[in-house]
Structure formats: C-alpha cells, structure tokens
Amino acid sequence: MNKCNYFSVLSAVGVALVMAVAPVHAQQAKSVAVASTGNTEVFDFFAREAVKSSFRSEGIVKTSVLDTDETNQACSAADVAGKPLDKKRAKEIEAMNLKSVKWPADGKFVGDWKEGEALAQSGRGLTYSDDAKTPNGGNCYNCHQLDKKEISFGTIGPSLYNYGKLRGVTDVNSPASKAIIEYTWGKIWNSKAYNACSNMPRAGHMGIMTEAQIRHLVALLVDPKSAVNQ
Ligand code: HEC
C-alpha cells in the first residue's frame, strides 16, 4: 500500500475527515489542532489506523503482524522519502539486528540438508487457513533459486544455486568454512543484521523458523553434498 496515497487523500478531505472521526477517539480529537499545523505524525497516525481497520485477526494470523519495530519504521520512512537510509543510520540498524541474532547454543551450525531442502521449498504456515500445528516452511524458493532442477522460483533475491561451492566450502568442519557458515546462520536468523532494509524476512528474529530448522537450512546452502551444491 502506498502511504503517499493516504497522505494525499487525507490532505484533500482534510478537516472534514478529522471532524468526523474526532468525537469517536479522544486521541484523534487531540490531534485536530496538530493537523492544522500540517504535522506529518498526524497523517502517519491516520494512515496506520486506516490500514489497521482494513484487516481483522483470522485463524492463526493476528493483526499484530502489522506492528512495526524501529528497523521497519526507519526503512519505511526512507522509502517514503524516496532515498536510502543514510550510511550511519543503516550501520546502527544492522548492529542492532546483529546483536539480536541467537547463535546455536551447542555450537552446531550445520544440520541435515535434506530437511533443509523440504523447508526451503515449503511456503506453508503463518496463513489464516493453516492449522496452528502446521510447522512453518522457509518459503525460500519464493525469492531464491536453489537448485538446477527447480521449475519455478522467485527472483527477488539472488540465486543461491551452488551457494557453498562458489564460496569454497569443501568441508563444513574445516576452520576455513567457519566465517561463511556463521554469516549464513546470521543472515537467515536476521537478514537485516547485514543489510538494514533487506526485503528478506527475519526468519529467526521474528519466530518464523526455529533454531533446529535454521540449522537444516544452513546445511542446504553449505553442505557439499546438498542439492544446492551439485
Ligand atoms: C521475500 C523474499 C525473500 C525470501 C522469502 C527469502 N529471501 Fe533470502 N534474500 C532476499 C534478498 C532480496 C536478498 C539479497 C539482499 C540482502 O542481502 O538482503 C537475500 C539474500 C539472502 C542470502 C545472502 C546471499 C549472499 O550472497 O550473501 C542468503 C544466504 C539467503 N537470502 C537465504 C535465504 C533463505 C535460506 C531463505 C528461506 C528461509 C530466504 N533467503 C528467504 C530475499 C528473500
């Protein structure tokens, strides 16, 4: 949804809209005065309310999915402004996200690539029609190529075909592979730790994937035996 549309609609309807809503919500009434000063916070408030009221919780999906954190807000503001985040702010956001990465408690980064493949090719879970007991898929195929045999994959993200091979991983236990394996874990756990406004979901950070699932996804990408590296 384009926020600018909300802004222009709101500006056009202006005071009339504010007057209509004001008696219902005290907080909105309070913002009437601010609206006349052209404070964009007021327009942001109405835009958020308009979006929120267009959705309802259904099944396992709650409207809380619309809640944003500091990272989302900074990146949305940059989008609205039509320019990327300034470098210093981007670094701060990346550092904050990197701090939140949970590293494997037992030091084991690499699981079973076959389980990782099933996860990467599954888009199940987190949908209103999914049962709460449905394990979440990784949905990676929707943005990344992973395997030569795939008939259909998305291209929002770069191809991950031969990911480990191209990065020289010949033995997942060798010290030479450590850095790339750690990065792969961190990237899947929280993509914004390395790219502040990444379009990639923060799988671990947002509770989409478990630690065990991320271990399998790392295996899919780095294990020399994995379908990704053939
Ligand atoms: C909505 C699209 C989207 C989904 C879903 C997605 N990614 Fe990504 N991914 C991206 C984009 C875009 C990039 C490149 C920009 C960046 O690095 O943030 C990326 C980058 C990556 C990278 C870094 C590649 C490199 O060369 O450094 C890895 C690894 C990765 N994704 C793995 C995964 C895995 C595993 C999954 C599934 C759990 C996944 N992605 C799901 C969009 C997505």
Q: Any idea what the CATH number is for the domain that residue 162 is in?
A: 1.10.760.10
> Does residue 129 lie in a domain region?
yes
> Does residue 104 lie in a domain region?
no
Q: Are residues 177 and 225 in the same domain?
A: yes
Per-residue pLDDT of 52-107, as tens digits, reads: 899 999 999 999 888 999 999 999 999 989 999 999 999 999 999 999 999 999 99
Q: Are residues 120 and 89 in the same domain?
A: no
> Does residue 107 lie in a domain region?
no
Q: Are residues 152 and 85 in the same domain?
A: no
Residue-level pLDDT at 38? 67
Residue-level pLDDT at 28? 55
End-to-end CA distance of the chain: 40
Q: Are residues 130 and 77 in the same domain?
A: no
Lowest-pLDDT range, 2-6, 181-185, 195-199?
Answer: 2-6
**Is residue 19 predicted with pLDDT exceeding 90?**
no
Alpha carbon 152 to its chain centroid, in Å, reads: 22
- Closest-CA residue, ligand 1 atom 21, reads 157
Alpha carbon 211 to its chain centroid, in Å, reads: 17
Q: CA-to-CA distance for 121 and 59, rounded, in angstroms?
A: 23
**Is residue 135 predicted with pLDDT exceeding 60?**
yes
> Does residue 105 lie in a domain region?
no
The number of domains in the chain is: 2
Task: Name the nearest CA neighbour of 117 among 148, 141, 84, 152.
Answer: 141
**Is residue 5 predicted with pLDDT exceeding 50?**
no
Residue-level pLDDT at 40? 79
Q: CA-to-CA distance for 141 and 36, rounded, in angstroms?
A: 48
Q: Are residues 63 and 167 in the same domain?
A: no
> Does residue 37 lie in a domain region?
yes
pTM of the model: 0.85
Contact 186, 101 (CB under 8 A): yes
Per-residue pLDDT of 153-187, as tens digits, reads: 999 999 999 999 999 999 999 999 999 999 999 99
- Nearest atom in ligand 1 to the alpha carbon of residue 140 is 37
Taking residues 36-49, report their average pLDDT: 80
> Does residue 18 lie in a domain region?
yes
Residue 206 Cβ contacting ligand 1 at under 6 Å:
no
Q: What is each CA distance from 94 to 6, 97, 209, 211, in whole angstroms?
A: 30, 5, 20, 21
- Per-residue pLDDT band at 27 (split at 50, 70, 90): low
* Choice from 161, 182, 184, 187 to test ligand 1 binding pocket (greatest atom count within 8 A of CB): 187
Task: Name the nearest CA neighbour of 53 among 77, 82, 80, 28.
Answer: 28
Q: Are residues 138 and 219 in the same domain?
A: yes
Q: Are residues 93 and 121 in the same domain?
A: no
Per the DSSP assignment, residues forming a β-bridge with 58 are 61
Q: Are residues 132 and 203 in the same domain?
A: yes
Q: Are residues 120 and 225 in the same domain?
A: yes
Q: Are residues 89 and 153 in the same domain?
A: no
Q: Which domain holds residue 151?
A: 113-229
**Is residue 39 predicted with pLDDT exceeding 80?**
no
Residue-level pLDDT at 36? 57
